[in-house]
Amino acid sequence: MDKFVSKIKGDLKDFNHKDFQNFHDVSNISDEFCDIKYACLKINESHEFHVVLKYLNENNEDEYYNKFIREIENLRNIDDNENVIKFLGVTKDPSKNFYSLVLRYCGNKNLSDHLKEAPKKDWSNKIKMAKDIANGLNYIHSENIILYNLNSKNIMIDNDKLVISDFSLAVSLDSQKKPTAIKITEKNVAYVDPKNFTHANMANKSYDIYSLGVILWELSSGRPPFSKNKLNIEELKRSIELGKRELPVNLTPVDYKELYCDAWDRDYYKRPSIKEVISCLKDIEFDLEYHVYRDSGFIPKIFYQSNKSHEKACLKVIKGSSENEQYLFIPEGEIFIGRKNSNDIVIKDHEIDKRHAKIKNYQGKVNIIDLGSKSGIFINGEKLTFHTLYTLNINDIIKMGHSTFQYLPTGKPNFIDSLTQIYNAEYLQNNLANEFENSQNWCLLFCDFDNFKKINENYSRAAGDHVLAEFSKLIQNKYIYDKDIFARYGDDKFIILLIDAKLALAYEIAQEIRPSVDTYQFNHNEIKLQSITLSIGVSGMNSSVKNFNDLLDHAKKACKNAKEYGRNQIVIWENEPMTTDIVSIVIF
């Protein structure tokens, strides 16, 4: 004790233990490293102050005061911060051998207990709690101090603020002292950086970031990590060392989920700093949520900040919902693609990184670059190498997450139907003739609305235009893949050209399209429109097809027969060697 008195006590407030009253244990804060008691400090007859007295669990006097002094030095180095417990002084209980710390009282409920009662879906409050913890840790790290034992049981709920309360194992990186070897228990094993399992005397700030990542997950789930684990502690430690982590919680904001996954990365060099954590928490976007079970048919929303149709190159959206913009025109210079709203092209998909790709358009050459995305970029089925420039060529198919695009170096407006934002008939005639020689497995669906003029007559021309545009989005997003071509042939007629598809597949697709249109509820200006049906003619490659126009004519004739057979039907054109005008298979 003499060492303590001579070294540090003279600089501290030494409270008279007799001034404390109303003692009681605070068992949910105490742990294997210390015991905590609540007390009321009487200032005068009308004023009293709530405090806690902290006793370290150490019987050896030298060891006790070594730890005691280190904790005091660390606490005194922290600027007064609302998210870090305030050190007030020391006191000596006559019934005990050693001094105790006097700290400001921050309530009797820790974060772990609080989360059991907190609303599960209150994300604004979860983010606020995360910011409180990160703010406190930032002040601690700014003083070059590592906590080394951060977990939800030593973060207290002080009214509406969270307070980091335990510095038992904290160590200053400016001192020559090594961290105390942390005892791994069932209570703290999930929060401890797995490197501490084998290198107990090593520490850096990334160790606290790992613990913070686990706590961020705990905020999202409302339960302690691995609380459903059935492994013993040694088995769990081994699993964590090998990369085992809790699974993300369904409907967690993707930005938040990505943040805690980065924080608990096995490679501590890849973990963010505490300032980067704070920046990410300020920039959380809530409109994109993580889905544990994502439907394979998921259609991501795509937004483009500027879409000037006079540009000479564009991306055609093959799969994705782009708010009536089927063609994303690429200006000279650079544009960025990612899920964050700060990008030029925004794709709301959890498989897309915050900043996923960059497109450079200079001197007529358009390059795409993967910016280190986790899910990658695929060009014509081949994964693009990280940070490698790829020069896009006509009709290249670009896949990012659940979205698919086709690159068109001359996205001329006269090839695009202005109402439906899909190809027009002129595109078919100008671009498919030269490709026909390689068209062994082409099939064509000719779609014609039944009695469409009644929509215009019974409602308005605007209602009819709305139906055509809505139908185009429905077909484009659900039935058109990769190299397939969807075009408006004229008025209420549409063509679907299936590349590398046999007649049986074309027939199956037609079978899906016809009833989906029949049952689709078209609304315009909040008015439900009458039921709308579609007649479809299907044609495929055979000996009578010499060019694209033959394939088109067969589908048109089949569609005409479907109309004659009563409408809302599918007819396949067949051409056998013994006959030239057989129409068969009518589907009601």
Q: Read off the tokens for 37.
A: 């008691």
Do 372 and 436 reside in the same domain of the chain? no
For residues 64-92, average pLDDT: 88
- Among 273, 293, 313, residue at a domain's last position: 293
Instruction: Judge whether residue 6 has pLDDT over 80.
Output: no
pLDDT at residue 287, rounded to an integer: 86
CATH of the domain at 137: 1.10.510.10
Q: Read off the tokens for 353.
A: 């990184």
pLDDT at residue 235, rounded to an integer: 93
Q: Which domain holds residue 221?
A: 110-293
CB of 513 closer than 8 Å to CB of 533:
no
Q: Looking at the domain assignment, is residue 581 inside a domain? A: no
Q: Looking at the domain assignment, is residue 319 inside a domain? A: yes
CATH of the domain at 521: 3.30.70.270
pLDDT at residue 178, rounded to an integer: 74
Do 435 and 525 reside in the same domain of the chain? yes
For residues 509-534, average pLDDT: 92
Spatial distance between the Cα atoms of 552 and 540, rounded to a whole number of angstroms: 9
Q: Looking at the domain assignment, is residue 584 inside a domain? A: no
- Among 58, 75, 105, residue at a domain's last position: 105
Q: Phi/psi of residue 493, each to 5°? A: -115, 140
Sheet holding 443-449, edge to edge: 423-424, 485-490, 493-498, 443-449, 534-540, 570-574, 582-587
Ranges of H-type helices in 320-365: none
Q: Read off the tokens for 110.
A: 């820790």
pLDDT band for position 41 (cuts 50, 70, 90): confident
Sheet holding 327-329, edge to edge: 327-329, 314-319, 403-408, 397-400, 378-379, 382-383
Spatial distance between the Cα atoms of 341 and 426, rounded to a whole number of angstroms: 36
Instruction: Judge whether residue 411 has pLDDT over 60.
Output: no
Instruction: Judge whether residue 295 has pLDDT over 90.
Output: no
Percent of the chain having pLDDT more than 70? Answer: 89
Do 488 and 523 reside in the same domain of the chain? yes
Instruction: Judge whether residue 413 has pLDDT over 60.
Output: no
Question: Residues with Cβ < 8 Å from 417, sequence gap 6 or more?
Answer: 423, 424, 487, 488
Do 451 and 347 reside in the same domain of the chain? no
pLDDT at residue 173, rounded to an integer: 87
> 334 or 587: whose pLDDT is higher?
334
pLDDT band for position 98 (cuts 50, 70, 90): confident
For residues 330-341, average pLDDT: 92
Do 335 and 453 reside in the same domain of the chain? no
Q: Looking at the domain assignment, is residue 331 inside a domain? A: yes
Quote the number of domains for the chain: 4
Q: Looking at the domain assignment, is residue 585 inside a domain? A: no
Q: Looking at the domain assignment, is residue 371 inside a domain? A: yes
Backbone conformation region of residue 173, classed left if phi is above 0, alpha if psi is from -120 to 50, else beta: alpha
Do 182 and 318 reside in the same domain of the chain? no
CATH of the domain at 356: 2.60.200.20
Do 311 and 359 reside in the same domain of the chain? yes
CATH of the domain at 2: 3.30.200.20
Across the chain, mean pLDDT equals 86
Spatial distance between the Cα atoms of 394 and 408, rounded to a whole number of angstroms: 5
Residue 84, CA distances (Å) to 27, 104, 137, 151, 155 in order: 20, 10, 8, 14, 9
Spatial distance between the Cα atoms of 221 and 443, rounded to a whole number of angstroms: 50
Spatial distance between the Cα atoms of 152 and 260, rounded to a whole number of angstroms: 15
Do 115 and 54 reside in the same domain of the chain? no
Instruction: Judge whether residue 434 has pLDDT over 70.
Output: no
For residues 379-396, average pLDDT: 88
Report which of 526, 514, 546 is spatially closest to residue 449, judged by C-alpha positions. 514
CB of 559 closer than 8 Å to CB of 446:
yes
H-run or E-run covering 505 = helix 503-519
- Among 78, 105, 132, residue at a domain's last position: 105
Residue 132, CA distances (Å) to 45, 188, 207 in order: 35, 21, 19
- pLDDT, tens digit (0-9, with 9 covering 90-100), for 240-269: 999 999 999 999 999 999 999 999 999 989
> What is the DSSP secondary structure assignment for residue 248, as one 8-state letter?
P
Q: Looking at the domain assignment, is residue 242 inside a domain? A: yes
Do 282 and 399 reside in the same domain of the chain? no
Do 191 and 141 reside in the same domain of the chain? yes
- pLDDT, tens digit (0-9, with 9 covering 90-100), for 345-362: 999 999 999 999 999 988
Q: Looking at the domain assignment, is residue 577 inside a domain? A: no
Q: Read off the tokens for 503.
A: 């007649």
For residues 530-549, average pLDDT: 90
pLDDT at residue 325, rounded to an integer: 65
pLDDT band for position 307 (cuts 50, 70, 90): low
pLDDT band for position 459 (cuts 50, 70, 90): very high
pLDDT at residue 588, rounded to an integer: 40
Query: HSE (CB half, 13 Å, CA atoms) of 488?
Result: 20
Do 87 and 123 reside in the same domain of the chain? no
Quote the pTM value.
Answer: 0.69
* Lowest pLDDT segment from 129-143, 470-484, 506-520: 470-484
Report which of 505, 309, 503 is spatially closest to residue 416, judged by C-alpha positions. 309
Do 550 and 463 reside in the same domain of the chain? yes
pLDDT at residue 97, rounded to an integer: 83
pLDDT at residue 84, rounded to an integer: 95
CB of 203 closer than 8 Å to CB of 149:
no
